[in-house]
């Protein structure tokens, strides 16, 4: 009986632990109320399970920055569609907390300092809740007035993604445009340099800006009959969306609704400087339906400063001559009258040149050379243009482009005089090497000749040796082998280690053909010496 009782308590403990862990990971609901908070790995999920909301890291293992954001729940590849604290990430998601405070949704960091808020008029109403909707809209509602409009909507504060039902608005009353702003890079959700807006000039078209100042692409005006922007014909092929454009005295906005709710599709302002429509495929991957501008090289400053973009190469971007890879920094600064210019042809020129009144291309070159801040010049249609400081947007074309001259230090060029010096140096070096090899061979041969016994071939195969060489070989005739037969025979060793037998003739005997054959070395030899 005691065992059963103990098991019951154990079961209750396990159930309680499992419930606690589950509640830590997810509320299992779509709402954050005044008595709840969100931290760590906790999430809320929209009622239909379409979207989830919580802390995320855009680059796990590479960054310690965490953000509060929203992503697709039913898509296997985590895809972020909205970020709250883009400019102020937190480093500890377990110590940071998101909660309702004074009628606002506020994010407190690990030091419990508020770093992001919905910034509504302060109230003490405890009836305010945050609700995540299946359309991907996070809203603040006042439960005491169910008929009222939401107090705040994430749709009114877009990040880099526009999903169906979201508007891109230009407020005519305060002259403010909503911006769809790219991430800083694919692993950093902080605001980047590219943004999409509804053009504020009453031209009824979208525009993409670089650094919120340089407009480099327009969609063309809205065609109300075709229901597309005139320069985006891909919109006519779209079987997913119904597009609409509305303009009244208060605002202008562009929006779209999905035709089939089973499709998952989104528009993003990409880090490449292109706006893209991405569709989720049954194969569990995102598919690029269309992008504008169509060519990446037309994205403003896509390759950065002092670089060129060429879509015919595997890597679109490359630094100009004289600039190294790290942000295309100058290898050797051009700062003197000895500087020279490197020519690039068939180029799309950078924007914002300065016009200079000169009499011809040589004067244009001289003007840039004498201006320490001038980095490049071009001469086209009898007009001189120079660029001062850094420039971006230089693009290599297949043909029909212009010519630009980049100013570089003289050290970046090989002059004819330098080339001649290099040639002479190469020749002298080669001759020196050959002479050195010849000298080494000469020394080697001389040493070998010295180490070899002096011989002389006489009549047929006989070899004559000088007596002094045989004296050396026999150690002055010190090892006698036998005697008799006109003289004595001595053992000898030649410098090449060959063994020989040497017969030393007795005094007064002359033999022109007396020979002995050494069976070891198979040598023939004679030695004769007159004794006085």
The pLDDT tens digits of the residues spanning 436-450 come to: 888 888 877 776 655
175-200: per-residue pLDDT in tens? 999 999 999 999 999 999 999 999 88
Our CA dihedral for 254, 258, 263, 267, rounded to 10 degrees, sits at 0
**pTM for this predicted structure:** 0.68
**Structure-token pair, residue 87:** 């400019």
The more confident residue out of 303 and 498 is: 303
The mean of the pLDDT values for the chain is 82
Instruction: Calculate mean pLDDT across residues 218-247.
Output: 90
Residue with token string 């709840």 = 36
pLDDT, tens digit, 9 for 90 and up, residues 329-367 = 666 555 556 789 999 999 999 989 999 999 899 999 999
521 pLDDT above the threshold of 80: no
pLDDT band at 431; cut points 50, 70, 90: confident
Tokens matching residue 396: 């290599």
Q: How far apart are CA 242 and CA 256, in angstroms?
A: 5
Alpha-carbon span 216 to 197, nearest angstrom: 12
Structure tokens at 164: 């169906």
Q: Is residue 298 scored above 90 in pLDDT?
A: no
Q: State phi, psi for 321 to the nearest 5 degrees.
A: -55, 135
* Sign of torsion over alpha carbons 427, 431, 437, 441: positive
Half-sphere exposure of 122 (CA within 13 A, CB side): 0
Note the pLDDT of residue 281.
Answer: 92
pLDDT at 8 (0 to 100): 56
The three-class DSSP label of residue 88 is coil
Between 517 and 302, name the one with better pLDDT. 302
**Terminal Cα-to-Cα distance of the chain (whole angstroms):** 138
Question: Any idea of the CA torsion for 513, 519, 520, 525, to the nearest 10 degrees?
Answer: 0
- What would the two tokens of residue 207 be? 């525009």
Question: Residue for token digits 């020196």?
Answer: 432
**Six-digit token pair at 390?**
């850094």
Tokens of 259: 């035709």
Q: Does residue 254 register a pLDDT over 50?
A: yes
Res. 229 pLDDT band, cuts 50 70 90: very high
**How high is the pLDDT of residue 515?**
38
- CA 46 → CA 52, 137, 139, 261, distances in Å? 6, 9, 11, 15
Instruction: List, edge to edge, every strand of the sheet that includes 128-132.
Output: 31-32, 128-132, 138-142, 152-153
């Amino acid at each position: 009986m005691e065992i059963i009782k103990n098991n019951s308590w154990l079961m209750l403990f396990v159930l309680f632990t499992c419930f606690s862990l589950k509640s830590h990971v997810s509320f299992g609901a779509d709402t954050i109320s005044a008595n709840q908070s969100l931290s760590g790995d906790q999430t809320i999920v929209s009622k239909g399970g379409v979207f989830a909301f919580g802390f995320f890291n855009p680059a796990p293992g590479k960054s310690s920055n965490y953000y509060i954001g929203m992503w697709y729940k039913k898509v296997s590849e985590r895809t972020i569609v909205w970020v709250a604290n883009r400019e102020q990430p937190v480093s500890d998601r377990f110590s940071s907390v998101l909660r309702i405070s004074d009628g606002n949704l506020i994010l407190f960091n690990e030091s419990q300092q508020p770093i992001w808020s919905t910034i509504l008029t302060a109230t003490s109403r405890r009836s305010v809740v945050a609700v995540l909707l299946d359309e991907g809209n996070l809203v603040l509602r006042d439960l005491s007035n169910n008929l009222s409009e939401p107090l705040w909507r994430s749709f009114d504060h877009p990040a880099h993604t526009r999903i169906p039902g979201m508007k891109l608005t230009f407020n005519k009353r305060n002259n403010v445009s909503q911006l769809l702003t790219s991430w800083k890079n694919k692993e950093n959700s902080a605001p980047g340099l590219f943004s999409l807006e509804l053009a504020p000039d009453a031209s009824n078209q979208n525009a993409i800006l670089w650094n919120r100042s340089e407009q480099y692409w327009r969609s063309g005006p809205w065609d109300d009959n075709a229901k597309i922007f005139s320069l985006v014909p891909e919109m006519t092929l779209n079987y997913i969306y119904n597009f609409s454009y509305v303009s009244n005295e208060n605002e202008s906005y562009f929006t779209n609704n999905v035709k089939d709710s089973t499709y998952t599709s989104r528009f993003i302002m990409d880090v490449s400087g292109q706006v893209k429509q991405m569709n989720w495929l049954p194969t569990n991957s995102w598919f690029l339906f269309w992008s504008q501008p169509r060519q990446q090289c037309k994205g403003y400053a896509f390759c950065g400063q002092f670089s060129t973009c060429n879509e015919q190469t595997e890597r679109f971007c490359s630094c100009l001559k004289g600039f190294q890879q790290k942000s295309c920094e100058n290898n050797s600064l051009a700062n003197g009258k000895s500087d020279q210019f490197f020519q690039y042809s068939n180029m799309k020129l950078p924007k914002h040149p300065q016009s200079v009144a000169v009499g011809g291309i040589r004067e244009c070159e001289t003007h840039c050379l004498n201006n320490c801040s001038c980095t490049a010049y071009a001469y086209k249609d009898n007009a001189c243009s120079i660029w001062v400081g850094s420039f971006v947007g230089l693009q290599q074309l297949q043909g029909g482009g212009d010519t630009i001259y980049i100013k570089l230090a003289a050290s970046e060029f090989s002059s004819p005089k330098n080339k001649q010096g290099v040639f002479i140096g190469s020749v002298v070096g080669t001759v020196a090497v050959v002479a050195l090899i010849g000298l080494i061979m000469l020394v080697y041969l001389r040493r070998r000749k010295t180490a070899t016994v002096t011989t002389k071939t006489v009549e047929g195969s006989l070899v004559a040796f000088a007596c002094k060489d045989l004296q050396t070989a026999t150690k002055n005739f010190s090892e006698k082998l036998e005697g008799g037969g006109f003289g004595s025979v001595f053992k000898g060793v030649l410098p090449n280690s060959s063994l020989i037998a040497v017969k030393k003739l007795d005094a007064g005997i002359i033999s022109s053909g007396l020979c002995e054959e050494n069976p070891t070395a198979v040598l023939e030899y004679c030695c004769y010496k007159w004794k006085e």
